[in-house]
Structure 1
Amino acid sequence: MKFAACIEWMFTEAGDDLPARIHAAHKAGVTGVEFHLWREKPIEAIARAADATGVRVRSFCVEPRRSLADPADHEQVLAAVADAIPVARQLNGAAMVLASGFTRADVPVQQQFDAVVAVLKRAAAMAQAAGTMLWLEPVYMVVGGQRMFVDTIGRGLDIVAAVDSPALRLLADVFHSAQTGEDLEQAIGERMPYIGHVQVADTDGRHEPGTGGIDWASVMRVLKAKGYQGEIGLEYFPTVGAGESLALTRRTLGLAA
């Protein structure tokens, strides 16, 4: 398995310039990179750095972030996806990442689920028509007592299956999944084809695998048994230099250098 590094947080030795971090990732043997919000990023320079190095930009986040669970936000969600599609195409097919937004107090769970499915069907149709891809990311976060509506891999896969579009897949973040205490093997079941990407970070602190409490041998066993063959996204805050951090991650995940 190859790595896709979050250049928001990794290769900081190269400075604040994201294209320079892409070049640093390439020198370290990393074949993919990811970043978060796009509107304030130097997209043209990022595209040039990716083309020059052969490093693939795997994903970026759709913005502004709005609720998938609230129909009042749906037109803004779709407008944000429309704005992101040209960026995804400029970055040679980078996936566009969406989170669900928070649960809505006193609104039935099924009603919220149906709202998420409805807007993602429309968004996925837009992405498919443009030859691009959306990734739904379950995120564990609690604000004012409200959790994100999609915060587990299990619910995320339920939604992706319900949308049933080739332009929508799940971004399975092991860090967020571990926060919820879900069983990874049970959550995935036979639905690995709906997973487009896997990201890793350890608990607590969101550092390299091997610095916290997640059983990475078990995680990798599940991913391999279920047939995952994609890249591993490194969305963590390194505790050491890039080279040492990558080596620790490889050892912990049982991956050859």
Structure 2
Amino acid sequence: MSSTPYTLAACAEMLYLDRPFPERVRHIAERGFQVEVWDWSAKDIDALTATGATFSSMTGYLEGNLTEPDGIDALLTSARQSLDVAKRLDCPRLNLHGTGLDGKGLPVRPVENVTPSMWPAALDTLRRVAELGEEAGRVFTLENLNLAVDHPGTPFARAADTLALVQAVNSPYLRMNLDLYHAQIGEGNLIELVRQALPYVGEIQVADVPGRCEPGTGEIHYPAIAGELRNLGYNGTVALEGWARHDSDAALDAFRAAFT
């Protein structure tokens, strides 16, 4: 197996769907990848710990949003709860979005337009989130999403907006989760986006477009992006957050091949 300067991880929510969740986690780990999970509240945390997997990322909140008083309180409360779980899993990164998402990935409180007053509110909330991360010694990551296909109505979803918020907070405990699948749909120009964002990136997620499956199934030339990451000296985590086109083992093989 070729070595890489960065760590490879895979999302257990989207692979080996015919298996119980702890078995998904265990098999991904046995294949040599770190593991990402989403909503921890629906998981048996002791069973996940018993798999022996190394966890790369998990959802860092259960509800709430960045801009409304009740939503801010809910987000910060569930962020604290998430940090407790992250400690049990020894998970270094906790993921956030511009607002809470339902089971279909749609915003619980959709926003048609982000108003000027929403920006300072979001910044203040994210500064408080970063303080929680600093106290716990863990990093929160703010993920960009796409509005056209998967997450219409999500505020602060564009990669440019997510990056602007993270830059403004300017804390090592709040970084960007740069999702290149979402960015390709929303903005494109991925290599230049990687160059601009990398100083503020806590993690990179990938899947191909269209379909959100493994590299090689769509239009993104991930080996070129992998080469640029090596040129730039990136030594963080690259995670497959995508479905398997046909077979999960084959999807992991294709992901590894694209990034090694």
Common fold, TM-score beyond 0.5? yes
Q: CA deviation at 1:212?
A: 0.9
One of 157, 161, 172 as aligned partner of 2:178: 172
Q: CA deviation at 1:177?
A: 0.5
Q: CA deviation at 1:130?
A: 1.6
Alpha-carbon contact 1:138-1:172 (below 8 Å) kept: yes
Question: Distance in 1 between the 2:249 and 2:27 partners?
Answer: 10
Deviations 1:190-223 (A, max 9, x none): 4423101111111111111100111323322432
> Within the alignment, does 1:28 sit opposite 2:31 as a pair?
yes
Computed over aligned residues only, the root mean square deviation of the Cα atoms, in angstroms, reads: 2.3
Question: Distance in 2 between the 1:152 and 1:221 partners?
Answer: 24
Find the residue that maps to 2:27 and give its secondary structure.
Answer: helix
Give the TM-score normalised by the residue count of structure 1.
0.86
Q: CA deviation at 1:71?
A: 4.1
Which moved further from structure 2: 97-106 or 112-121?
Answer: 97-106
Find the residue that maps to 2:38 and give its secondary structure.
Answer: strand
Query: Which runs of no fewer than 5 residues in structure 1 stay unpaired?
Result: none
> Within the alignment, does 1:11 sit opposite 2:22 as a pair?
no
Question: Distance in 2 between the 1:163 and 1:22 partners?
Answer: 33
- The count of aligned residue pairs is 245
Amino acid across the alignment from 2:30: K
Name 2:226's counterpart in structure 1. 220
Alignment of 1:1-257 (within 5 A): 1=4, 2-12=7-17, 15-16=19-20, 18-30=21-33, 32-50=34-52, 55-101=53-99, 104-105=111-112, 108=115, 110-141=116-147, 147-251=153-257, 253-255=258-260
Q: CA deviation at 1:170?
A: 0.9
Question: Distance in 1 between the 2:64 and 2:218 partners?
Answer: 32
Question: Distance in 2 between the 1:193 and 1:128 partners?
Answer: 18
Query: Which runs of no fewer than 5 residues in structure 2 stay unpaired?
Result: 100-106
Question: Distance in 1 between the 2:182 and 2:197 partners?
Answer: 18
Question: Distance in 1 between the 2:84 and 2:17 partners?
Answer: 28
Find the residue that maps to 1:236 and give its secondary structure.
Answer: coil
Name 2:104's counterpart in structure 1. none
Deviations 1:96-120 (A, max 9, x none): 1110026744652x32222211101
Identity between Structure 1 and Structure 2 (%): 27
Q: CA deviation at 1:60?
A: 1.2
Find the residue that maps to 2:212 and give its secondary structure.
Answer: coil
